[in-house]
Structures are given as structure tokens and as C-alpha cells.
Amino acid sequence: MPLALVVDDDRSVRFMLQKSLEEISIEVILASTAEEGLHLVLNRRPDVVLLDIMLPGRSGLDILEEIQACDRRLPVIFITADGGSDSAIEAMRQGAYDYVSKPLNLPNLNRLVKNAINSRQLMSVPVALTADPEADSRIRSFVGRSQEMLNVFKAIGRVAAQDVPVLIRGESGTGKELVAQALYQHSHRSDQPFVAINCAALPDTLLESELFGHEKGAFTGADRRRIGKFEQCHGGTIFLDEVGDMALVVQGKVLRLLQDQRFERVGGNETITTDVRIVTATNRPLEEMVEEKTFRADLLYRLNGMTISLPPLRERREDIPLLLGYFLAKSQRALNKPHIEGMSPECLELLTNHDWPGNVRQMQSIVQQAVLNTIGPIIIPEFLPREVSAVCVTVNEAVATKATKTQSVAPRPSAVDPDVPLIGDLGSFIEKRIVAKSTNLSTEVLDCVERYLFTRVLQVTNGNQSQAAEILGVTRGKIRDRIASFNISMERKVQIDGDAGE
Amino acid sequence: MSRVAFIALIPPQLAGRHSTHIENLTGSESRHRTIMKTETFAGNGSICTEVVLERLNGDRALMAKLAGFFLEDAPRLVETLRADIESGSAPRIAGSAHSLGGLASTFEAKSFTRLTTAIERNCRQGDTSEMTELMQQLDAEFLWLIADLREFVASPIASDGEPIR
């Protein structure tokens, strides 16, 4: 369980933060003075610190300096009485993770603390360039012995220590974020901040503000000055995921930053200088987007100091058994199913021949589901999710034979059957997971519901992602991300419909 | 402090402004019925329960607990601030006003926190000339605030059991 340290002389703040964070499964330790807080930083090694900027007799900035001397990567969130105060701005400049002003909004604060813990983990967990399925399950590993993956490892080794921008390309689920982490951890900036931003997850205006910050009054709701990630990440590495989803106006500002490391906050005149390494990733065809004038050519050239391309899983099939072994061992440990001995040959063959449109991320999910479903010591095809066991053979055959007939049919997402768990199944799913002593049930259930929701809406819109985004109130980038994450098939259903029609 | 005592302590300059509130205080039974029906809490208007609960994730029990902390801690902080003003030390006044304002901001006590902010801002700029006047206003707002928080803690809204999710 992640550990948060709250340092505040106001007992009501300590109480409400402890209650709020414990409800989202974060352990909380408390201190009412700077000395107590620093003692706990040294002895308990928290994952995040929430620090009152004005403790009796001590400036929060001094304490931040001491915390950073102990652990430069520990995210510190300041609690201020006035969000626009100079000390809060200065704190951000000195490397605070963020600041919140009183009165505290607990739902927002919970999200912020979760993000900070996630950042901490991204910075701290070593990425092992190993092909060993026995590797420590706490380490996020690249697994692969294929020539394609060895080339990726070599490329990371060549470019990590250089300060050049790196563009990571690859389909969704191939491990682009792992590459970014590895680049950071093997660079000379590894003791400086690493900040990851998903450009598709934020609306354009919010993304600009998130990256560059804004001045008070820059737009409706900008009631105080805000420091952006580029300023905050001074000296470190910033990872812009889904960079192809960035709006043109933001692209222009990023380009200028890449050229001379300067920018202005939104609504501001002051030019700010920063020193960050930019690592980007996308699964979108940037060259085509340049031709369509939806992506700036000059930015593409600037971002592309070096490209690392991650192969899809279907192009490195020799790694599939290795990966299956890795995820099987990992799921066994995570789900506490030590009695499972392995997979049957039929099951292995089915999975080896699968096309894995969602790549490694999909495989991880499939193996986890199989481990959950398995009764007895061996995983057999019956225990695989239906998207693999039932559809793999029949639909793939259909795809092969009917492809030419269906090319003009607009892709539609498969949804209610056979792939997507029905909401009605949710009760039994939850019961199963409770019996299995899940420690991640909230995420599992929310994933399940989200998967159903996205698929259902895409069905309603006949696969039109823009319409789906409008209905769901999210960005198109998020729709694309969820299609990939949840392995929502936009083709398979078409093939099935084709069959049904004949 | 009982409600009767509270009414007696209302400064004359506030009595007109809050006359309807005073009336409300004497008719607590009918107000409580209204509260149970609408699940809102109006009090004397020195706090905004809806906004507070939104920020606290709808957790009424938590709000009541925090109100309890305020009622226990704030009188001491007010007295510290008063002593600091008497001593004339601008940094100490600013520090005390800051703590008090932070504590009260939890309850969206706008009138009260406007005064603590003014005291803190003036002192940070080295200006202690209006402290006595500001402190008088703060004393008056403080009475409204603690009265409302006591009302809230005692109301069915705060004591209706489990936190709301």
C-alpha cells in the first residue's frame, strides 16, 4: 500500500487528509512539525509528502530543500492558504510536485495524490532490460529475445545518455511508456524529475495550461497563477504520450520550447527559460498527419532526434511463449494462485497463434483473466476469455476468407457478445474477485464497466469515434486509447455480420 | 455558549443585518423540521454547507468532526491573535491570522476569512494601523461563525449517521 506523509500543524487538516486518503487505500502517517516530518521522511520513506507551506517557525521551502536532500524524487505537494502566493510559485520552481490551496477539495486532492504516487513509481521502479520471466514481479520488465526487441534494447542504450529528443513509435500496448522510463533511468537526468503527460487525455486548452502553466485571469476559471509541467520539470525529462493528439496551437509552443527552451505561460508575457529533455510517443501516422496539415512538419523533425520503433507482438511471435510465462508467473503471484502449474498445449497453441491486436497489454489482461477463471492446476482453452477461445479460430478463418467482401463496410465495434462482459455479469464477477481476495477490486470493476460503456457507445455510433467522444464527453484520443486498451475490435464484428448475412 | 447567551452577545451593528437569523435561532424546532425535509443547513449564513460538503465528498460526519475541532481550537487562536495585536508584532499577527484563516476556510466562512486575510496582508506589508478595528469586526464574525458551527454539529444533518457517499 502506498504511503503518504502529511505534515501540518492544523489537526483538522491532518484528520481530513488521513480519512480521505485512507479511503482510497493509501496509508497515511502524520506529523505536526517540520522536525517530525523530516524524521518520518528519513525513517518511513513515504511515496508522497503533503506539506503545509507555513509551519510554525519554519518555511516550507526550507523543508522542501531538506526533503530533496534526502530524496530528490519524492513528490512534495504543498498545502497553502493562498494558491497565488509567491512562496507557492517559488516552491514549484524549486521542484515541488504541485500545490493545493485551502479550503481543500478532497476528491481533487485524492486524484492529485494518486498521480504523485504514480509519478514516484515511474521514477523509482527500475526498468529491467531482461528477458528473464523469473524476474522480480515488482519490476516492470521488457521481455523478449527476438531480434526486434534486441534492436530496441540497443537503441535505448545508444540514446539514453544523449540529450536528444526521442520519438517512440508503436501500436498501443507495445510498451512505449516502458521505453520512456528506461531512457530516463539510464540518462544523466535520472536524479531529476520525470513527468509523464498523456496528450490525448486532456482537452486542448487544458493541455496547454498543464504543459506551460497560466497566469491569473488567462481564461475563465484561471483564478490564480499556475506553474506548468515544463517549468516544474526543469532539469528533468518530460514524456509526452500520444503526441499526435496535440492541438496545433500547443504544437507551436512545444516547437519553440524545443528550439530555444523558452516559453510563456498562457496569458503571460514573461519569457521563461527551462531545461528539459523531451521524449514523445505515438501510434499515429505523423507523416500522414503532416500531409493533412494536422501535425507540424517542423515539430516532427525536431521531436525525431531519434526514433525507437516497437514491434507489434504479431511480428515477434517467438517472444510469445516467453511473455506468456512471464505474465503467468506474475498473475499467479498477484492473484495468489500458486497451485496453477501451467497451460495445456492446446491453450498455448491458441495463444501463440492469436494476432494480439492489443499487443502485450492485451496479453497481460488475457493471462490474468485466464488465471482467475482457472479451476485446477492447468489452464485449458475453456478458461481463456471468449475473445481468444471462441473467436480466435472461427473469426480469424472468417477474416481470411471474407476480407475482400467486407472492405467497404464501415467498421463497427464488437460489444455485447461475445467479447464484452455484460453489466449483468458484474455481480458474479465481483463475488468471484472477493473470494479470490482481490486487492485491486475497484480498478477491476471500473475497467469492466468502462469497457462495456465504450463498446456500447461505439456500437451506437457505428464505430464513429468523434460521435462517441461527444456522447461520452471525452476526447477522441481517449476513445482511441480505450479501443486499444480494452481490445475493442472494430473489424471482427464486421466479419461476423458478413457471415450472418450469407 | 447557549443560544440565549449568543443572542445577547450580538453586536448592535449586526443585529439589524441578521435580524432574520436571530428569529431563526429562536425557532429552532421548525427549522430542524425544514432541515430534515430538504437536507440543507442555512444557519446564520456565515458558512456554506453545500459547498463544504461538496469539497468533503459529501461526508457530513467529517464536517461535523472538523467543526468540533474548530470550536475547540479557534477560541484559543483568536485570543492569541488579540494578544499579538496588542504586542504590535506584525509578523506574529500575520502568522496568527494565517492559522485562523486556514482553519475557518474549511467552512467557506467568507466574511471571517476576508478579515483574517486583510489582517495578514496588512501586516505582511508592515501596516498595523487598522488592527484594532479589524479585530473588532473579526470578533463579531467569529460569534456568527461559532454559532453556526454549533448549530450544524447539533443539527440532524450532522448526526444522521454514516458518511454520505
Complex prediction ipTM: 0.71
For the segment B141-155, the average pLDDT, to the nearest whole number, is 90
Residue type, A89: I
Among candidates B98, B106, B117 on the partner chain, residue whose Cβ is nearest the Cβ of A12 = B106
Interface A:B, Cβ pairs < 8 A? 50
Name the CATH code of domain B3-154 (choices 1.10.10.60, 3.10.20.740, 2.60.120.10, 1.20.120.160).
1.20.120.160
B92 touches chain A (CB under 8 A): no
A263 close to A270: Cβ distance less than 8 angstroms: no
Q: Does pLDDT of A74 surpass 70?
A: yes
Residue type, A438: S
**Cell 496545433 found at:** A248
- Give CA–CA dist A51/A9, Å, rounded: 10
- How high is the pLDDT of residue A359? 93
Rounded percentage of chain A residues whose pLDDT exceeds 70:
84
Q: What is the pLDDT of residues B28-73, one digit of tens each?
A: 333 332 333 334 566 667 888 888 999 998 898 999 999 999 999 9
For the segment A355-365, the average pLDDT, to the nearest whole number, is 91
Under the banding of pLDDT at 50, 70 and 90, the label for residue A107 is very high
For the segment A274-287, the average pLDDT, to the nearest whole number, is 93
Q: Cβ of B56 and A81 within 8 Å? A: no
Under the banding of pLDDT at 50, 70 and 90, the label for residue A86 is low
Sign of CA dihedral A145, A146, A147, A153: negative
CA angle A168, A169, A170 (to 5 degrees): 130
Task: Tell me which of A87 and A106 has the higher pLDDT.
Answer: A106
Under the banding of pLDDT at 50, 70 and 90, the label for residue A139 is low
For the segment A421-437, the average pLDDT, to the nearest whole number, is 68
Closest CA to B105 of A12, A32, A221, A22: A12
Q: Cβ of B69 and A11 within 8 Å? A: yes
Alpha-carbon separation of residue A233 from A71, A98, A116, B31 (angstroms):
16, 11, 13, 53
Q: What is the pLDDT of residues A300-356, one digit of tens each?
A: 999 988 999 999 999 998 889 888 888 888 888 888 888 787 888 888 888 988 889
- Give CA–CA dist A20/A296, Å, rounded: 44
How far away is chain A from the Cα of B86, in angstroms, using its nearest Cα?
Answer: 20
Using CB atoms within 10 A of its CB, is residue B8 exposed (0-12), middle (13-18) or buried (19+)? exposed
The residues that bridge with A203 in the sheet, in sequence order, are none
Q: Does pLDDT of A133 surpass 50?
A: no
Among candidates B56, B103, B107 on the partner chain, residue whose Cβ is nearest the Cβ of A10 = B103
Q: Cβ of B103 and A81 within 8 Å? A: no
How far away is chain B from the Cα of A426, in angstroms, using its nearest Cα?
Answer: 21
**What's the whole-number average pLDDT of chain A?**
80
HSE value, Cβ hemisphere, 13 Å, CA-based, for A1:
12
Q: Does pLDDT of A146 surpass 50?
A: yes
Q: Cβ of A54 and B108 within 8 Å? A: no
- How high is the pLDDT of residue A449? 82
Q: What phi and psi values does residue A246 have, to the nearest 5 degrees?
A: -80, 135
Sign of CA dihedral A403, A405, A409, A413: negative
Query: What is the set of domains in chain A, with CATH numbers?
Result: 3-117 (3.40.50.2300), 147-310 (3.40.50.300), 315-500 (1.10.8.60)
Among candidates A12, A19, A82 on the partner chain, residue whose Cβ is nearest the Cβ of B103 = A12
Q: Does pLDDT of B27 surpass 70?
A: no
Residue ranges per domain, chain B? 3-154
Under the banding of pLDDT at 50, 70 and 90, the label for residue A494 is very low
B125 touches chain A (CB under 8 A): no
Q: What is the pLDDT of residues A444-463, one digit of tens each?
A: 788 778 888 888 888 778 77
Q: Does pLDDT of B120 surpass 70?
A: yes
Using CB atoms within 10 A of its CB, is residue B19 exposed (0-12), middle (13-18) or buried (19+)? exposed
Interface probe for B, chosen from A10, A11, A12, A113 (most Cβ of B below 10 Å), is A12
- Give CA–CA dist A37/A67, Å, rounded: 9
Among candidates A20, A54, A102 on the partner chain, residue whose Cβ is nearest the Cβ of B105 = A102
Task: Tell me which of A389 and A265 has the higher pLDDT.
Answer: A265
Q: Which residues of A touch B73 (CB under 8 A)?
A: 11-12
Among candidates A12, A13, A103 on the partner chain, residue whose Cβ is nearest the Cβ of B108 = A103
Q: Which residues of B touch A103 (CB under 8 A)?
A: 52, 55, 105-108
The residues that bridge with A226 in the sheet, in sequence order, are A214
> Which long-range contacts does B29-37 make (Cβ < 8 Å, 24+ apart)?
B32/B155, B32/B156, B35/B155, B35/B156, B35/B157, B36/B156
Q: Which residues of B touch A81 (CB under 8 A)?
A: 98, 101-102, 105
End-to-end CA separation in angstroms for chain B? 33
Q: Cβ of A103 and B101 within 8 Å? A: no
Q: What is the pLDDT of residues A151-203, one digit of tens each?
A: 888 888 888 888 899 999 999 899 999 899 889 988 889 888 889 999 988 88
Closest CA to A289 of A241, A245, A242: A245
Q: Does pLDDT of A481 surpass 90?
A: no
Residue A424 grid cell: 449483468
Highest mean pLDDT among A51-55, B6-10, B71-75: B71-75
Under the banding of pLDDT at 50, 70 and 90, the label for residue A227 is confident
How far away is chain B from the Cα of A406, in angstroms, using its nearest Cα?
Answer: 49
Which 3-state string (H, E, C) describes A22-39? HCCCCEEEEECCHHHHHH
Which 3-state string (H, E, C) describes B22-72? HHHHHCHHHHHHHHHHHCCCCCCCCCCHHHHHHHCCCCHHHHHHHHHHHHH
- How high is the pLDDT of residue A473? 82
Q: Does pLDDT of A406 surpass 80?
A: no
- Give CA–CA dist A407/A417, Å, rounded: 22
Q: Cβ of A103 and B106 within 8 Å? A: yes
Q: Cβ of A102 and B73 within 8 Å? A: no
A101 close to A81: Cβ distance less than 8 angstroms: yes
Measured between CA atoms, the residue of chain B closest to residue A108 is B55
Q: Cβ of A54 and B95 within 8 Å? A: yes
- How high is the pLDDT of residue B43? 64
Measured between CA atoms, the residue of chain B closest to residue A9 is B99
HSE value, Cβ hemisphere, 13 Å, CA-based, for A36:
13
Q: Which residues of A touch B55 (CB under 8 A)?
A: 103-107
**Cell 510517443 found at:** A281
Q: Cβ of A15 and B69 within 8 Å? A: yes
**Cell 500458486 found at:** A338
Neighbours of A56 (CB within 10 A): 11
Q: What 3-state class would DSSP assign to A188?
A: coil
- How high is the pLDDT of residue B41? 60
Task: Tell me which of A421 and B70 has the higher pLDDT.
Answer: B70
A181 close to A194: Cβ distance less than 8 angstroms: yes
Q: Cβ of A10 and B98 within 8 Å? A: no
B66 touches chain A (CB under 8 A): yes
A449 close to A427: Cβ distance less than 8 angstroms: no
Closest CA to A16 of B117, B147, B94, B53: B53
Show which residues on chain A lie within 8 Å of chain B, measured between beta carbons.
Answer: 9-13, 15-16, 19-20, 54, 56, 81-82, 102-107
Closest CA to A322 of A132, A121, A89: A132
Q: Cβ of A102 and B65 within 8 Å? A: no
The residues that bridge with A129 in the sheet, in sequence order, are A142
- How high is the pLDDT of residue A121? 77
For the segment B108-120, the average pLDDT, to the nearest whole number, is 91
Under the banding of pLDDT at 50, 70 and 90, the label for residue A423 is low
- Alpha helices, DSSP H, located in A1-146: 11-22, 34-44, 60-70, 86-93, 106-124
B82 touches chain A (CB under 8 A): no
What's the full length of chain B, in residues? 165
Rounded percentage of chain A residues whose pLDDT exceeds 90:
28
Residue A223 grid cell: 483564478
- Give CA–CA dist A113/B75, Å, rounded: 32
- Give CA–CA dist A401/B65, Å, rounded: 68
Measured between CA atoms, the residue of chain B closest to residue A59 is B95
For the segment A201-214, the average pLDDT, to the nearest whole number, is 87
How far away is chain B from the Cα of A85, in angstroms, using its nearest Cα?
Answer: 11
Under the banding of pLDDT at 50, 70 and 90, the label for residue A490 is low
How far away is chain A from the Cα of B56, in angstroms, using its nearest Cα?
Answer: 6
- Give CA–CA dist A213/A93, Å, rounded: 12
Q: What 3-state class would DSSP assign to A129?
A: strand
- Give CA–CA dist B113/A217, Å, rounded: 22
- Give CA–CA dist A18/A14, Å, rounded: 6
Sign of CA dihedral A370, A497, A478, A288: positive
Q: Cβ of A106 and B55 within 8 Å? A: yes
Sign of CA dihedral A13, A14, A17, A19: negative
